[in-house]
């Protein structure tokens, strides 16, 4: 088989477009055109690049075969698996995953070696294998500052009730739910109150805490609410029980520790975009508010919260390059690091999709700390 045929076969096997694959391989701004020429045999990559193409995603870094797990769990609204990783590290086995977004499914499959099931609303609770812990970073758009804050009036908000029906049917020993901080104050607290009420009606404890990524060693000012509960029919606990959330170590963070060197110029924003950012910031300043783009450098302790809309203009996190250069956006790998993903995590999609995926994901070190406490409590309560 020719080099051209091998490159095309590799891309198709991964289910990627030429744009996806070019971005995933770290090719330059016109990488998809270069890849197209390679696939058509019009030109050839050098040997090092060719071998890198064939080796790309040849191993699934988080596909762990665990025949004797300490516990079993399911991963709902899984995104790209950020919540799954810590529980897998603690000896757990994922027995079911659900994620409807086809691009997130692609990233999940490449890293974990399994394709998530699709729309959870179309999956019967009885068809889900038995498990001990339910994990769910359920959709946050209805409650976020970036959204319209409709809450349960938004159909995506009702996806919480999919979690409720699965808990009611399968009776897991415990659950961990994650959402935006704004859930706590949404509708004057009534939305969260409704969620807690429904969970307690199923005979579960339900405790909440807002934890900040920057307090757990990640240079990002990202606050999220975590809801942890245990089955009162399994564990001897009453209404006075409170889950001991992890104490944040508050390790000093520095943005430069996660930034890459010699970043491709394709991440430097254009003159037109930068002029627009400057103009809008000036307009906001004239009105007396602080809105507008945010500039950071390697010595910044942390950034703003990265969001799923980061791909649009990067305004919430721009990196100062000095020397009269326009600032740049974070690279997808830097976004992964900003969320605490190890560099072995494979990014097999276009930059646009990668920004959406990491913006929607979780700060892995925070989940890791909560997961350790959750598993420790399960063992303690069992005794």
The pLDDT of residue 307: 93
Q: Where does residue 126 fall: left (phi above 0), alpha (psi -120 to 50 degrees), or beta otherwise? A: alpha
Which of 107-111, 155-159, 201-205, 366-370 shows the lowest per-residue confidence on average (mean pLDDT)?
Answer: 155-159
The residue that leads in pLDDT, 158 or 251, is: 251
Statement: residue 275 has pLDDT above 70: yes
Choose, from 94, 140, 236, 335, the residue flagged as catalytic: 140
List 71's β-bridge partners, or say none.
92
Statement to judge: residues 282 and 200 lie in one domain = no
Residue 352 lies in a domain: no
Q: Is 140 an active-site residue?
A: yes
* 135 and 105 both lie in a single domain: yes
Mean residue pLDDT across the chain? 91
pLDDT band at 141 (very low <50, low <70, confident <90, very high): low
Residue 66 placed within a domain: no
Looking at residue 290, its pLDDT comes to 63
Q: Are 356 and 228 in contact (CB under 8 A)?
A: no
- This prediction has a pTM of 0.91
CATH number of the domain at 46, please: 1.10.260
Tell me, what's the pLDDT at 293? 86
Asked whether residue 161 carries a pLDDT value surpassing 80, the answer given is yes
Count how many domains the chain has.
3
Whether pLDDT at 187 is above 90: no
Identify the pLDDT of residue 166.
97
Average pLDDT over residues 222-241: 96
Is position 168 within any domain? yes
Same domain, 319 and 371: no
């Amino acid at each position: 088989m020719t080099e051209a045929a091998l490159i095309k076969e590799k891309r198709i096997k991964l289910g990627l477009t030429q744009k996806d694959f070019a971005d995933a391989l770290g090719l330059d701004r016109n990488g998809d055109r270069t890849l197209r020429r390679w696939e058509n045999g019009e030109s050839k990559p050098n040997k090092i690049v060719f071998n890198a193409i064939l080796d790309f995603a040849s191993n699934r870094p988080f596909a762990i075969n665990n025949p004797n797990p300490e516990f079993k769990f399911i991963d709902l609204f899984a995104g790209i698996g950020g919540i799954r990783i810590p529980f897998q590290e603690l000896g757990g086995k994922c027995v079911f995953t659900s994620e409807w977004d086809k691009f997130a499914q692609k990233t999940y499959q490449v890293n974990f070696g399994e394709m998530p099931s699709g729309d959870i609303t179309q999956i019967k609770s009885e068809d889900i294998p038995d498990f001990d812990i339910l994990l769910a970073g359920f959709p946050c758009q209805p409650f976020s500052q970036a959204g319209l804050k409709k809450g349960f009036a938004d159909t995506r908000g009702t996806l919480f009730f999919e979690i409720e029906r699965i808990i009611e049917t399968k009776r897991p020993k415990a659950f961990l739910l994650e959402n935006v901080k704004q859930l706590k104050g949404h509708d004057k607290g009534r939305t969260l109150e409704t969620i807690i009420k429904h969970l307690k009606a199923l005979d579960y404890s339900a405790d909440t805490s807002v934890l900040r990524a920057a307090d757990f060693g990640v240079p990002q000012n990202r606050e999220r609410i975590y809801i942890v509960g245990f089955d009162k029919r399994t564990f001897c606990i009453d209404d006075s029980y409170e889950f001991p959330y992890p104490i944040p170590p508050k390790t000093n963070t520095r943005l430069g520790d996660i930034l890459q060197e010699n970043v491709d110029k394709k991440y430097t924003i254009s003159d037109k975009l930068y002029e627009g950012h400057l103009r809008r910031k000036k307009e906001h300043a004239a009105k007396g508010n602080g809105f507008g783009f945010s500039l950071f450098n390697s010595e910044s302790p942390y950034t703003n919260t990265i969001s799923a809309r980061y791909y649009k203009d990067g305004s919430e996190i721009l990196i100062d390059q000095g020397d009269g250069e326009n600032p740049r956006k974070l690279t997808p790998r830097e976004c992964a690091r900003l969320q605490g993903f190890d560099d072995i995590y494979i990014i097999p999609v276009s930059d646009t999709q990668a920004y959406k995926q990491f913006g929607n994901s979780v700060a892995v070190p925070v989940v890791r700390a909560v997961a350790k406490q959750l598993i420790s409590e399960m063992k303690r309560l069992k005794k």
